[in-house]
Structure 1
Amino acid sequence: MDAHLAVDLGGDGLTILHFRAEWTAAKTFAEEFVRHHLRGAVVIDDEVSPEMKVLPYQRLYR
């Protein structure tokens, strides 16, 4: 089952990207994103839909 990632690039809620990914990849991506972005944020939930784009380079975060 996939996860939904809401990636807030600026931490201001204005630029949010939505992706789907495997849960393991989603968690690893979120940890790395938060570690490298001072103002960004990632929310992971199970509200995924087939229309969402797959997280780019998902295999790097498995």
Structure 2
Amino acid sequence: MSGQRRADIRIGALVDIVLKKDQRTGRLTRGHVKRILTGSATHPHGIKVMLREGDQVGRVQAILEESDE
């Protein structure tokens, strides 16, 4: 599932994000959502979140099922 709709993202969800420093390469970082930072309902580049793992911040590219790990 794409990460462009805020309503699709839940605290604790497993997601792939692209960090600001990785925007050029598109390298993805996997983790669990700690906080949702984007206030609007949608964002064309993905909803911005903070991950539990290392408090990393980036835009959601994919929402995963726990079995996708």
Q: Normalized against structure 1, the TM-score is what?
A: 0.35
Structure having the higher strand fraction is 2
Structure having the higher helix fraction is 1
